[in-house]
Each structure stands twice: as C-alpha cells, then as structure tokens.
C-alpha cells in the first residue's frame, strides 16, 4: 500500500491556512500603503518664505492641467527650431539663478508623476531696468511686462496637432543628453501607453477649446485675454465668428498690480469692476492658472491672499531725483482732478478711503470714460451668470460676479511700476496718458523693460530685440478715452509734468 506523503496532518493544515492569511494581510497592507502614498497622496515642495511661495509654490494647477516635468523639459529640445536656444524663456518667462523652473511654475507629484504648471506669479511679476544700467530688477506683485502667453498657448496647440509629435519622438527627447530623463524599459512603456496618449488628447481638446485664439489680434507681451478662454474652457461657450463679435473677441488686457489688497476689499475691481469680493477674485484667478474646483489648493492660495493684503507698493527707484517743488504742485492738481476717482497719496501712505473719495472702486460708464470697448464687451451677462455657478456646493461658491456698464476706478498706488496704462495697456507712459488720445503714441514698441524716468513708464521707442509692435488701430488696442478736462488732458504742459512728478511718489 502506497503511503500518501502529501497528506497533511490537521496541525499542518491549520498552519498552512494561517500562512495564507498572513500573506493576504501583508499584500493588503502593501496595496493600501501604495494607494495612500502613490495614488491618493500628493506631494508639494513647501516654501516657508511667502515670496518663494508666491514665485514657486503650488496652487494645485498641476494635477488637472500640468505637464510631466520630463515633458516640460523635452518640448524645447523637440521644438528648438521654433523656440530657439532660449526654450521656454522665449515666451518671456523669468529664470532665477539656481532654479530649474521659471518664476510662475510650480511642481506637484500626483499619481507618482511629477508635474509642473502655472501659479499666480507667472502673470503678476514685473521687471525694470534703469537707463544705462544692465541689472534687471524684479517686482513681485507688479504686472508682468514680459509674458507672451498667447504665443505660449499657440505653441502648445500646435504641438498637439503636429504629426511629428509622437510617443517615440517624445521618449527620444526625454532620454537625450539635454533632458537626461533616463526612462527605463518599463517607464518607456508607461509613456507609450499612458502618458503620451493622455497628453496628446489633452492638447487636442485644448485646441478645440482655444482655436479662436488664432483669430484674435496679437496680445503681445504683458497682456492676456482674461475671459474669452475662460468662457470656452470652463463653460464650452461657442466662440466661432457667428457667436462672438470682433469687438468682444479682441479683449486682451494688461495685468494689474496685486499689492495692498486689504484696502481694496469691497471695491468693484477687475478692470470692469465685475467683482467686489477679494476672495472670489483670487479663486477665479486660480481657475485661470489651471486649477479646477476639485484640485484647487485653497490653503496655498490663502497664504498668497494673506501676503497680498499688506504687500507694500514698490517705492520709486531713485527718490532723490524727484523734483519736490514740482511734485508738490502736482499733489494739488491731483487732489483737485484725480482723487475723487482714484484716492490719493498721504503722509501715512496711500489714502484708500471711499468716504473721502466717493468714486474710488466704482465704475465709470463706457460712454463717459471712452476707453476701448473690447474688454468690457467680452464680459457678458450670460457669462457672469455661468461664473456664479462655479464652486457650486461649496461655501465659497461664487456669487459676486456681475456685468457692469464700464471700467473701474482703481487706486493708483505704485502706479510708476504699472505701465503701460489703461486696461488694455494702450498708453506707454503716464505723461502720454495726460495728452488727448490724438497726441498719444499711435504705433509703438512694447516689450522693453527699460524704465523712462521722465515720462514714467517703459520706453516705447525701442525697436529690435523681439520688441512687439503695438498698433493702436488694431481691434482691442484703442488708446482713446480718459481724456477731457476732468482727466487732466486740458492742463498746461508744466502742470502735466508736475502731475507726473507727483505720481512718482504714490
């Protein structure tokens, strides 16, 4: 009789059973840890300094809209013929020494992939240099004067459509010496099967949403169309020629300054005064940077909000050069002509009081202000109704957006650092703004960050170096309005010079 050697004793059977359980539990724990640390969890670099947080901190835009870091680095290698040796920098992005990402880009690891995308500072940092000086100064919270966002968007749309943009080409670029991505066999498969197809699809979707940007007049450096892309991306508004007029289509706007937000509470801001809540303006801006109501990092934005509340306006660079007698005469003129709409400087800083300045933070109707109608027309009642459904279901749901009848009066603190002027950046200097429109520069160069301390603003006469030709006859670029007696354009030349001298002190 054969002996069944495989027969287990009852004790052995119980032991085997227990071992199986043990393995099941260990595997479950490993899976749970993997899920927690790799799939569900996200990693961000913490920046303790508020300025570093503003420049490089993540607000949550990477997850839904970001590019994997390796792709971000590979695209300038693949498209060197288009971007040149400067790569992303050719879109006016600012790189600081020792940083591998430009100002305004942040990183976050989600689903195990490191992604990069935009934060607030990409649009809200300006630079200037003084005449005869090569050093470039950066002002955090000043309007960007360099960013060519339209060119960057069109580049990404074209990449999505390019038949040469294949998984193999992307992998080769990532593994090139310039990027040094070292994708191994497994990672290459993940790129081929997951990363590349998703990216391609996302870029093609974006192409469908933003195709209309190709029909728009050039934005040039330092401007963005605030609301048309927002209409299309967030709400699928139709943007074809049958759905939108040429006036409303060409709505590119200058970037505003971000300092001293606390005294701006309750003012109707954005260029057309469409929202009186600072918190909503910030959350709305974050959507523009690519966050979604699900991915938004409200704590990260709250830190920026806090910092902006009392961020001081930048002081005029060479205060000793200000002609004090002229500035004093200018202060009197400013109090007489400008303060009721804009507020005024004071010994304790800018006076934002809306009791003393009844029109500050209010809207001047379009026929009275007379500036270019594009930005105003782009913001429609339908769109404001749609915006007020955003973040539905959360306590911070939008409720303050509204259609207004014109453009808002803003405080003019730090105004020397906010050129070019008016909502569409159509007037290069403060001195030009005090001339009637017929005497303002009609075609000028935008993109120099050399500061003109006489007329106050960036120089507008410097061709070359990729300067952008700003033609005021193009739709959306009109430089008319803010003129007539109430706006100081009838004053004498000496009085206008005095006003400009005074505005250096704000």
Return the closest-CA partner of residue 171 out of 315, 264, 71: 71
| Stretch of residues binding ligand HEC (CB under 6 A), selected from 159-167, 310-318, 344-352, 480-488 | 480-488
| Nearer CB in complex with ligand HEC: 19/356 | 356
Is 139 among the residues that bind ligand HEC (CB under 6 A)?
Answer: no
Q: How far is the CB of 174 from ligand HEC (least distance, A)?
A: 27
Of 196 and 259, which CB lies nearer to ligand HEC in the complex structure? 259
Beta carbon of residue 405, minimum distance to ligand HEC (angstroms, whole number): 11
Q: Which of 75, 93, 109, 224 binds ligand HEC (CB under 6 A)?
A: 224
Stretch that binds ligand HEC, among 108-116, 230-238, 252-260, 309-317 (CB under 6 A): 252-260
CB 461 within 8 A of CB 444: yes
Which is nearest to 259 in space by CA: 342, 141, 408, 120?
141
Q: Using CB under 6 A, which of 472, 476, 488, 497 touches ligand HEC?
A: 488
496 binds ligand HEC (CB under 6 A): no
Given 222, 487, 495, 506, the residue binding ligand HEC (CB under 6 A) = 487
Q: Binding-site residue total for ligand HEC (CB under 6 A)?
A: 51
One residue of 127, 253, 268, 277 binding ligand HEC per CB under 6 A = 253
Biggest distance spanned by C-alpha atoms of the chain: 125
Q: Do 429 and 416 touch, CB atoms closer than 8 A? A: no
Q: How far apart are CA 12 and CA 186, in angstroms?
A: 41
For position 109 contacting ligand HEC by CB under 6 A, the verdict is no
Selected from 152, 433, 437, 498, the binder of ligand HEC by CB under 6 A is 433
Q: Residue 203: which residues within 8 A CB-CB, separation 6 or more? A: 156, 157, 159, 160, 161
- Binding status of residue 288 toward ligand HEC by CB under 6 A: yes
Contact pick of 115, 148, 270, 357 for ligand HEC (by CB under 6 A):
270
470 lines the binding site for ligand HEC (CB under 6 A): no
Cβ-Cβ contacts under 8 Å for 494 (sequence gap 6 or more): none
The residues in 300-359 that bind ligand HEC, with binding defined as CB under 6 A, are 301, 304, 337-338, 341-342, 359
Is 469:443 a contact under the CB 8 Å cutoff? Answer: yes
Residue 275 gets the label, from left (phi > 0), alpha (psi -120 to 50) or beta, of beta
| CB of 200 or CB of 410, closer to ligand HEC | 410
Q: How far is the CB of 261 from ligand HEC (least distance, A)?
A: 6
Peptide bond into 100 cis (omega under 30): no
CB of 270 to ligand HEC, least distance (A): 3
Give CA separation, 5 vs 8, 9, 17, 127, in Å.
8, 11, 19, 84
Residue 58: how many other CB atoms lie within 10 Å: 28
Segment contacting ligand HEC (CB under 6 A): 36-44, 391-399, 407-415, 468-476?
Answer: 407-415
Question: Does the CA dihedral 307-312-317-320 come out positive or negative?
Answer: negative
| Residue closer to ligand HEC, measured from CB, 108 or 200 | 108
Contacts of 175 (CB under 8 A, 6+ apart): 181, 182, 183
> Least distance to ligand HEC from the beta carbon of 437, Å?
12
Query: Min. distance of Cβ 469 from ligand HEC in angstroms?
Result: 20
HSE-CB for 287 with a 13 A CA cutoff:
21
Least distance from ligand HEC to the Cβ atom of residue 75, Å: 19
Whole-number minimum distance, CB 195 to ligand HEC, in Å? 25
Contact between 122 and ligand HEC by CB under 6 A: the answer reads yes
The answer to whether the CB of 301 falls within 8 A of the CB of 59 is yes
Residue 221: what are its φ and ψ, rounded to 5°? -70, 150
Query: How many CB atoms are closer than 10 A to CB 65?
Result: 18
- Contact at 8 Å (CB) between 147 and 468? no
Residues 355, 357, 362: CA angle, nearest 5 degrees: 100
Question: Does position 281 bind ligand HEC by CB under 6 A?
Answer: yes
Residue 68: count other Cβ atoms within 10 Å of its Cβ.
21
The answer to the question of residue 210 lying near ligand HEC (CB under 6 A) is no
- Tell me: does residue 102 bind ligand HEC (CB under 6 A): no
Verify binding: residue 269, ligand HEC, rule CB under 6 A: yes
- Residue 92 CB, nearest distance to ligand HEC (Å)? 12
Contact footprint for ligand HEC (CB under 6 A): 59, 118, 120, 122-124, 224, 226, 253, 255-256, 258, 261, 264, 269-271, 281-282, 285-286, 288-289, 301, 304, 337-338, 341-342, 359, 364, 369, 371, 375, 407-410, 412, 415, 418, 421-423, 430, 433, 482, 486-488, 499
């Amino acid at each position: 009789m054969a002996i069944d050697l495989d027969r287990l004793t009852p004790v052995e059977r119980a032991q085997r059973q227990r071992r199986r359980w043990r393995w099941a539990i260990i595997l479950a724990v490993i899976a749970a840890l993997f899920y927690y640390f790799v799939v569900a969890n996200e990693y961000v670099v913490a920046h303790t300094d508020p300025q570093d947080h503003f420049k490089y901190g993540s607000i949550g835009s990477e997850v839904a809209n970001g590019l994997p870091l390796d792709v971000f680095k590979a695209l300038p290698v693949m498209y060197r013929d288009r971007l040149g040796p400067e790569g992303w920098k050719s879109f006016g992005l600012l790189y600081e020494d020792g940083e591998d990402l430009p100002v305004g880009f942040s990183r976050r690891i989600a689903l195990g992939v490191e992604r990069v995308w935009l934060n607030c500072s990409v649009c809200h940092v300006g630079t200037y240099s003084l005449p005869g000086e090569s050093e470039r100064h950066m002002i955090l919270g000043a309007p960007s004067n360099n960013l060519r966002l339209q060119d960057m968007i069109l580049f990404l749309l074209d990449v999505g459509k390019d038949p040469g943009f294949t998984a193999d080409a992307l992998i080769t670029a990532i593994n090139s010496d310039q990027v040094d991505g070292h994708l191994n066999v497994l990672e290459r498969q993940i790129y081929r099967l997951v990363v590349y197809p998703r990216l391609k699809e996302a870029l093609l979707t974006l192409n469908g949403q933003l195709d209309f940007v190709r029909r728009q007049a050039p934005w040039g450096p330092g401007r963005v169309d605030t609301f048309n892309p927002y209409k299309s991306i967030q709400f699928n508004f139709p943007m074809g020629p049958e759905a939108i007029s040429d006036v409303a289509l060409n709505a590119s706007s200058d970037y505003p300054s971000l300092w001293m937000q606390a005294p701006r509470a309750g003012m109707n801001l954005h260029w057309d005064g469409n929202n009186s809540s600072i918190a909503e303006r910030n959350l709305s801006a974050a959507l523009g940077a690519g966050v979604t109501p699900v991915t938004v990092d409200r704590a990260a934005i709250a830190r920026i909000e806090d910092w902006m509340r009392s961020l001081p306006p930048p002081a005029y660079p060479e205060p000793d050069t200000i002609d004090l007698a002229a500035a004093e005469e200018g202060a009197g003129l400013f109090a007489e002509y400008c303060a009721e709409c804009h507020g005024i400087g004071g010994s304790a800083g800018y006076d934002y009081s809306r009791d003393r300045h009844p029109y500050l933070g209010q809207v001047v109707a379009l026929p009275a202000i007379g500036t270019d109608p594009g930005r105003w027309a782009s913001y429609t009642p339908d769109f404001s109704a749609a915006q007020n459904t955003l973040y539905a279901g959360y306590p911070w749901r939008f409720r303050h957006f509204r259609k207004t009848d014109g453009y808002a009066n803003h405080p003019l603190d730090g105004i020397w650092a906010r050129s070019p002027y008016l909502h569409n950046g159509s007037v290069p200097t403060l001195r030009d703004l005090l001339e009637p429109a017929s005497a303002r520069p009609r075609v000028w160069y935008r993109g120099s960050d050399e500061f003109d301390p006489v007329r106050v603003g960036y120089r507008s006469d410097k061709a070359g170096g990729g300067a952008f030709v700003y033609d005021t006859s193009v739709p959306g670029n009109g430089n008319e309005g803010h003129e007539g007696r109430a706006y100081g354009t009838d004053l004498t030349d000496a009085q206008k010079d005095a006003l400009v001298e005074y505005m250096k002190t704000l």
